[in-house]
Amino acid sequence: MPKCPKCEKEVYFAERVTSMGKDWHRSCLKCEKCGKTLTSGGHSEHEGKPYCNHPCYSAMFGPKGFGRGGAESHTFK
Ligand SMILES: [Zn+2]
Ligand SMILES: [Zn+2]
């Protein structure tokens, strides 16, 4: 039985979602930052932790100043 990388408990088939090459509980595969539930293949990861593509991953690791949703440029030079 695979163990969930988040809570380290066994993952049963019915609640299993495979992402990043690991088996997670459906409810454990969520964004590390905002807690949004993620779907397999529908998210990003950083250092083995899942993040939602938007806004968290793009805000933290994406190219700066590329925001959708009208964050005016607060770039400090
Ligand atoms: Zn879990
Ligand atoms: Zn997020």
Q: Which residues of the chain fall short of a pLDDT of 50?
A: 67, 69-77
69 three-state secondary structure: coil
Q: Which ligand is nearest to the CA of 30?
A: 2
CA of 54 to the centre of ligand 1 (A): 23
Q: What is the pTM of this model?
A: 0.76
Domains and CATH numbers, the chain: 13-60 (2.10.110.10)
For residues 23 and 15, what is the distance between their CA atoms, to the nearest angstrom?
Answer: 10
CA of 68 to the centre of ligand 1 (A): 32
User: Around ion ligand 1, which residues have CB less than 5 A away?
Assistant: 4, 6-7, 25, 28
Q: Which helix (H) or strand (E) holds 59?
A: helix 58-60
